A and B are shown apart, each in its own frame.
Chain A
Amino acid sequence: MAKYALQRILLLIPSLVIISFVTFAMIRFIPGDTAVAMTEELGYAANLEELRSLLGIDRPIHVQYFDWVGGFFQGDFGQSLWDGSDAASELLHRLPITLEIALLSLLISVVIAIPIGVFSAVRQDTWGDYTARSAVVLFDSVPHFWIATLILILPAYYVGWVPAVGWVPFSEDPIKHLMLVGLPASILGVGSTASLIRLTRAMMLETLRQDYVRTAWSKGLSENTVLYRHALKNALIPVVTFFGLRIPNAVSGSVIMEAVFGIPGVGRWIIDAINFRDYPQLQVALLFIAIMVMVSNLVVDLFYGWLDPRVHYS
C-alpha cells in the first residue's frame, strides 16, 4: 500500500504542473486585466501601459509563469497586486474558515443522510420510506442560496430579527463562533443530503440481498448486528467515494454561503480576486483547490483498503 501511495503522490506532480500552467494562463484570458480594474478604482499611473509595467504584467506570459514558479520553490507564492499582501499567508488565514464550514456541512449531511438511507432501505416501501424519499426530492430541488436568502429575509421582515452574519474566531467567542458557522453549514449540509440518502439506500438494499447477510440473519444475529456490522460497512464503499468527491463541492458551496453570510473565507477571496484580476491571489487559491481535490481523491482510494480487505493495491 505504501508503494501504491507513493506512486500516486508522484503522479500528482505532473498533474500539478499542468494545472498550474492552465490556471495561470486561463485567468489572463479573462477580458480586462488588473490595470484596467485598477483604473476603475484608482488612478495609480498616468496610463494603462505604465500601470501594467509597474505591476509586471506587461511581460510575456511565459516569463511571468516561470517567475511565479521560481518563487513557488522558494516559498514565495506571490503578493496581491492591489495591496501587496502575501497571497499564501492570506490563503492560510482564510482556509480554516472555509474548511470548517465545508467539513461541518459534510458531517451534517453524513449524520442526516446515512441513518435515513439505512432506515429507508430497511423499511423499504413503507410510509417512512416514502416520506424520506419525498424529502430527498424536496432537498434536491431547492438551491442553497435561495434557502439562505429566505432565512435572512423572512425573519427580518416578519419578526424584525436576522440570524447572525459575519465572523468571530472560535478562540474569541466559541458560542458566537458556532452560531455563525452553524447556519451556513446546516444549509449546505441539509441541502446536500439528498444524493447521499439515495445512494446509501440503494447500496443498502443491494447489500441486504447478499448471501452473507441472509446467512447472518439465519444465524439469529440481532438486527443491529446484521445491519451495522455486516451490511453497512460494505454498503458504504461507494458512499465513501461519493463523500470524497463531495469535498470540493462543499468548498464551492461554502463560497455562496460566505457571500450571503458575510464570512471572510477563501470563497469570497476567490470571487474578489476574479473581479479585481488579482492574479497571484487567484493562482494560489486555484492551485490549492486543485491540490485539495487530488489529495481527497487519493485519500478516498486509500480508504477503500481499510473498508474492504479484498481491495489490493498494486
Chain B
Amino acid sequence: MIHSIRKFGFIGMAMLMSMLVLAVACSSGDDDSSSSAASSSTTAAAPAATTAPAAPAEPAANQPIYGGTVKFAQQRDNRVSWDPHATRGGQSLAQNTGSWWHNGLMSRAYGVDVGGGVSESFPDLAEKWEVSNGGLTYTFTLHKGVKFHDKAPVNGREVTSEDVKWSYERFLKGPDSDTWQLGDISSIDTPDKYTVVMHLKEPVVSFLHHVGEPLAYILPKEAASSPPKTPTLTLAEEFIAPDGIVGTGPWMFESHEKDKKVVAVRNPNYFKQDELGNQLPFIERMEYVVIPDASARLAAFTAGEVATASPASGSTQEAMDQNPNANVSQDQPTSPPQYAFRLDRDLFKDIRLRRAITMAIDQQAYIDQLRGSTSAHTWGSAPATAFPEYDITAKELGAAAKWWQYDPQASRDLLAEAGYGPNNPLTFDFQFSSCCKSSYLPDLVESMLSDVGIKANIKIVDHSVHLKTSNVGKGDYDMAHARVKGAEIDDFLLTLMPGNKKNVSHVDDPILNKMVLAQRVIQDPIERFNAVREIQRHLADKVYVFYIPDRFGDLLWQPEIKGFRNHMGNTEGRDWERAWIDPS
C-alpha cells in the first residue's frame, strides 16, 4: 500500500484533491439533473406535454399555464403503509400525499380565497347533497363521469356509488383513529350509480364536517392486494405502492424510492375544471424529497430548490426575513392544546384550586413567549383556539370571565380560602411530554405558579411515556398537557364526556353531559350556536380544562406559485390542484 502511495506520489494526490474540490465546487443545487423542468422546485415547463388543453404560447397575465415541477421537502419518508385507510395523524408522508392521488366524498375547506380558519366541508366527489328525515339521512349525488387513474387493473373505469359504499365500510373497519368521526353512520344505501344515501343513528349536525375530515378516500377495490403486506394491518386487503395506489386525484403515483423521494405525475383525466373551463391540474409533476435536517430544508427553500417551507417553532419571522417575497399562511391548528386537571384524583376536585391556577397564569406573557403568530387569550372556553367562529369575549362569558383573568392576588385569596398559603403551599405534579417544551412552556408556567405560592413539580416525560399516560388521562400526576383533534366543536365537547378516551381530565358532569348531547342534534344553526355558547360559559365557570394559547401552523411558499393557498388538514391535493407556476 505504501508502495502504491509512493508510486502515486504527491502530484497524484494533489490531482485527486483538486478533482474532489472541483466536483464539490461544480455541484449544482438541483436534486435531479435528468430534466431541466425537474431541476427546480417550481420550474415552469413550456408547452405542456400532456393531454391537457394546449396553453397559449404567450400567456396573458394571470392566465394559468400548464406544466412544471413542484418539489417539496419532508423530514422523513413514509414508514407505514401507503394504503390511505391505514394511516392516521402525525407526519406521515402517505397522509400528506394521499389527497394527490385520491378524493373523498367531501373535503375540508380549500381554495385560494378560503381562509385557514374555515372549518366547513367542501364538496369533492359529491356534486351536491341533501339532508332529510330530520337530519337522519344524508343523500349525496356524485359527479358523473369521474374516472379512476388509467392504470391496471382499474384502467380508468368510472367511479360509482358502490365504490363509495365499499370505501366507507372499509374505512370504518380500518385502523384510522378518525373512524370514530363517522361512527354515527348506521347504514349506507346506493339506490343508483350516482347516489349514496347515508343513514345516521342520530341527527348529528356535525356529520357533514366529519365526512370531509377523515381520510375516507374513495378507492377501487380491484387495486388492493390480499393478504396485506404490512405485518400489523388487520384489514383484509391493502393498497400497496406503487401499483395499488389508484385513485381519482389530480396526480398519479409514479414512483417511490425509500428515504429519497416520491414522484407523482399529472392525471390528464382529472374530473375538475377551473372557473374558466381549464382542465385541472396545471402542474405536471409533484415530488417529495426527504431532507431530514430542518436547516437544510429551509436553505433549500431559500435557494428556490423546494416550493414550501414550514419553519421550526418560533422561527417563521426569521424565515420570512430571509425570503421577503415568499407567500405565507399562518393558521390555527385543528388540535388545540390544553392543560388538563385530573378530576379522578382528589386534589383538583376542589374547584377553588382549579380557579386559583387559571388566575395565576398570565396568558399574555405566555403568548409573548410563544413568539410568532399565535391564537389569542382563550378565556378557558371550549376550543375557540381551533374554531374562530366560537371565539368568545370576556363580556360574552359573563361572571365566569374572572376565573380566566390574570389576577395573582385573587389567586392567592382562593388558595387561602382552600387552606393553602406560604406555610402550606399547594403542591402537585404537572406532567409534560419531552416533545413539546417550546409549545407548552413548563418553565414559564412553573414560575408563574410559584409567584402565587403554588409549587408545581414539573415532570418532563419521554413522549412515548406521555402517549401511554397523560395523553390518555392515565398515570401518576395531577395536571398535564394534552392535545385533542377534531373537525368540529362537537368533537371537542365529546371529549368532556365520560367514556370518551380523550377525556383526559375525567370530567363527569351530568349537566354538561346533557348540554353536549343536546347541541349535537339541534338543526337550527343559530339555536345551536347559542347552545354551544351556554356550554362555553358553563365550562369557563367549572374550569375542568384549560385550553391554552397555541402557536399557529405557518407555511411559506415561493412567489412564482399562483393559485395556491395552504389550509390545515389533509388538503394538499385540493390546495394544489389549481396551482400553477408563473415563469415571469
Contacts and interface: CB of A to CB of B under 8 A. Distances in A.
A44 B296 contact: no
B232 A262 contact: no
Contacts of A264: 257-260, 290
Interface footprint category on A? 35 or more
Nearest to B10: A115
A149 B297 CA distance: 11
A37 B26 CA distance: 42
Interface residues of B, number: 66
Interface centre among B29, B81, B89, B260 (most CB of A within 10 A): B29
B22 to A, nearest CB: 9
B171 to A, nearest CB: 12
Contacts of A259: 292-293
A182 B22 CA distance: 9
Given A32-B464, A166-B31, A182 B303 contact: no
Contact of A115 (B13, B28, B468): B13
Interface in A70-127: 79, 81-84, 108, 111-112, 114-115
A180 B299 CA distance: 16
Nearest to B322: A157
Given A79-B231, A164-B30, A43 B291 contact: no
Nearest to A164: B27
Contacts of B441: none
A167 interface: yes
Nearest to B302: A156
A287 B1 CA distance: 29
Nearest to B259: A264
A221 to B, nearest CB: 15
Contacts of B86: 42, 44
A163 B290 contact: no
A168 B232 CA distance: 32
B88 A31 contact: no
B336 to A, nearest CB: 19
A272 B81 CA distance: 16
B307 to A, nearest CB: 14
Contacts of A156: 298-300, 302-303
Interface centre among A161, A262, A307 (most CB of B within 10 A): A262
Interface centre among A81, A167, A269 (most CB of B within 10 A): A167
Nearest to A269: B259
A162 B299 CA distance: 7
A55 B231 contact: yes
B175 A42 contact: yes
Contacts, number: 187
Nearest to A180: B27
B295 A41 contact: no
B427 interface: no
A38 B296 contact: no
B443 to A, nearest CB: 23
A179 B464 contact: no
Given A167-B260, A186-B20, A264-B258, A41 B300 contact: no
Contacts of A196: none
B17 A262 contact: no
Given A165-B291, A272-B76, A37 B464 contact: yes
Nearest to A39: B467
A243 B76 CA distance: 33
B259 to A, nearest CB: 4
A166 B300 CA distance: 12
A25 interface: no
A155 interface: yes
B16 interface: yes
B296 A149 contact: yes
B299 A36 contact: no
B80 A82 contact: yes
Contact of A83 (B79, B88, B90, B467): B79
B304 A43 contact: no
A182 to B, nearest CB: 4
A181 to B, nearest CB: 9
A63 to B, nearest CB: 18
B526 interface: no
A306 B295 CA distance: 47
Interface centre among B23, B87, B259 (most CB of A within 10 A): B259
Contact of A41 (B2, B13, B88, B303): B88
Interface stretch (A10-18, A205-213, A228-236): A228-236
Interface in A232-287: 232-233, 236, 258-262, 264, 268-269, 272, 276
A71 B231 CA distance: 18
A292 interface: no
B177 A111 contact: no
Contacts of B300: 156, 162, 165
A29 B4 CA distance: 48
Nearest to A177: B23
B26 to A, nearest CB: 7
Contact of B29 (A39, A163, A168, A307): A163
Interface in B3-23: 5-6, 10, 13, 16-17, 20-21, 23
Contacts of A45: 175, 232, 234
A162 B291 CA distance: 13
A176 interface: yes
Contact of A182 (B24, B230, B304, B467): B24
Nearest to A175: B23
B465 interface: yes
A108 B261 CA distance: 30
Given A42-B80, A55-B232, A262-B292, A183 B24 contact: yes
Contact of B80 (A83, A162, A180): A83
B31 A111 contact: no
Interface in B215-239: 229-234
12 contacts: A37-B464, A41-B79, A41-B90, A43-B175, A44-B175, A84-B230, A160-B304, A162-B29, A162-B300, A164-B29, A167-B260, A268-B259
Q: State the 6 A-B residue pairs at the shortest beta-carbon distance, nearest first.
A: A32-B464, A264-B259, A179-B27, A156-B299, A44-B232, A162-B303
Given A31-B465, A42-B232, A164-B27, 11 more contacts: A31-B464, A36-B468, A42-B80, A83-B81, A84-B231, A156-B298, A164-B30, A173-B34, A176-B33, A179-B23, A182-B27
Interface of B: 1-2, 5-6, 10, 13, 16-17, 20-21, 23-24, 26-34, 76, 79-81, 86-90, 92, 175-177, 229-234, 257-261, 289-293, 295-296, 298-300, 302-305, 322, 462-465, 467-468
